[in-house]
Structure 1
């Protein structure tokens, strides 16, 4: 694809580039997710998180779809998705901060709520505006059709995802006056060779990395209300407890002594 700005090799992370397809009125975002998938697996290993192969495959596709979606959105958005599947019974959670260029997430495969439909929840905070939530239903066990259903029902425009390589994905989204016949006829092969058949205008490059930002202090903020009300129920006879970050599943150990000191320190 044509390039108007060279990549900054000093930037650490996954580079996503977006292009406007002239004459078709569509935008395309595309990248190879190999590097981000490696970071995800390093995170699982470091925190001793074991994932069922079926859930792992679903999460990787959701992570690719989510990152491309983030790259196509305004810079000042924080985005979170919760994708509830009934078969298999699992929730996928993803969160992204466009200003920081970070994405993270985790798989919930225990105590997942059963219901009549798969549900897709999208939460967005843009700048200082109030948070917005959308919820749509979808069919099947693949997260990518779930995201496409979200675009149709909530965004009121079309989006199509394509796996164009072993770990390479692309997102095409409608813009006003989009050539819908061309858009609906797109195939993975056509998207892979788009620069040969269409005129592409480079829009921007964004760098994303796997990062949650959870730490000991944030975990103590979560535990503080329970500690104030019923410390015995929280710790029992143990001097410490282990918890996992609700956003990424990272393992954190919090001692009773540290939490008591946290509660009395000046704010």
Structure 2
């Protein structure tokens, strides 16, 4: 098993006088672990889908850092033409981000839909939200998600050298300033604005799936193994979170 790269540190910064929260990070480390994962499991996504998944990993990581530590968040984008399900999930407490793309057996919607599920230890039921999204760019989805689900303005920025940032409005924010920002201004913000580092959070690309965690998914097949295995003595199962492959034999069920 390949050892993961160092954790990526995500910075949470308050922009004084603008009353906005800037969250930023450099994602080369997470992308390196992601590609090592793909190589290990013989996975490859087409270029456009690969970039969409990488962008989504970055944006969710930043959003997690803007939220309380206790939350585990999962996003699913159900897209049409071509139809895919793009899935990413992560946790600040567990310091991970992971995801995958589903391209087979996908119900094609008449519109693009975005689903967010937030889980906290103190609640038995996750908080769910569903919305329609425009376009196929995860960076653009962020502002749509904040407007509809978070009930406040926010913008995401794709910067140079695999850096990403989001800026979210806080109470009494300078909304005119936020609306006119461009990528170059965000990259240079510490030279033009008064800022204060609030915290950093570590993340890495990691799922934590194991064969012992995958097997319970097949519990309902225990009484009908022939239907599951057909004419074979083994099958391959993919992790629903990261698409890692696991070989399952009849005696394991």
- TM-score in terms of structure 1 length: 0.90
Whole-angstrom CA distance in 2 between matches of 1:219 and 1:102 = 19
Say if 2:6 and 2:29, in contact at 8 Å, map to a contact too. no
Greater C-alpha Rg: 1
Whole-angstrom CA distance in 2 between matches of 1:147 and 1:227 = 42
Equivalent of residue 114 in structure 2, options 120, 123, 142: 120
Secondary structure of 1:252's match? strand
- Does residue 70 of the first structure (1) align with residue 64 of the second (2)? yes
- Does residue 203 of the first structure (1) align with residue 195 of the second (2)? no
Q: Residue in 1 aligned with 2:76?
A: 82
Q: Residue in 1 aligned with 2:248?
A: 254
- Over residues 232-252 of structure 1, what are the superposed CA-to-partner deviations in whole Å (9 max), with x where a residue is unaligned? 111233222111001100010
Report the alpha carbon displacement of residue 88 of structure 1 after superposing the two structures with TM.
3.0
Q: How does 1:1-267 map to 2 (within 5 A)?
A: 12-129=6-123, 130-228=125-223, 230-259=224-253
Flag structure 2 segments of 5+ consecutive residues without an equivalent.
Answer: none
Say if 1:227 and 1:234, in contact at 8 Å, map to a contact too. no
Report the alpha carbon displacement of residue 226 of structure 1 after superposing the two structures with TM.
2.0
Report the alpha carbon displacement of residue 61 of structure 1 after superposing the two structures with TM.
1.1
Say if 1:83 and 1:143, in contact at 8 Å, map to a contact too. no
Say if 1:12 and 1:207, in contact at 8 Å, map to a contact too. no
Say if 2:79 and 2:109, in contact at 8 Å, map to a contact too. no
- Over residues 26-74 of structure 1, what are the superposed CA-to-partner deviations in whole Å (9 max), with x where a residue is unaligned? 1001111111111111111100012111111111111111111111111
Whole-angstrom CA distance in 2 between matches of 1:64 and 1:106 = 13
Q: Which runs of 4+ in 1 moved over 3 A?
A: none
Q: Residue in 2 aligned with 1:264?
A: none
- Over residues 213-235 of structure 1, what are the superposed CA-to-partner deviations in whole Å (9 max), with x where a residue is unaligned? 1111111110012223x221112
- Over residues 163-186 of structure 1, what are the superposed CA-to-partner deviations in whole Å (9 max), with x where a residue is unaligned? 121311111001111010111111
Whole-angstrom CA distance in 2 between matches of 1:12 and 1:115 = 39
Flag structure 1 segments of 5+ consecutive residues without an equivalent.
Answer: 1-10, 260-267
Whole-angstrom CA distance in 1 between matches of 2:122 and 2:236 = 34
Whole-angstrom CA distance in 1 between matches of 2:205 and 2:16 = 32
127-136 vs 117-126, greater mean Cα deviation: 127-136
Whole-angstrom CA distance in 2 between matches of 1:226 and 1:177 = 56
RMSD: 1.3
Work out the number of aligned pairs and report it.
248
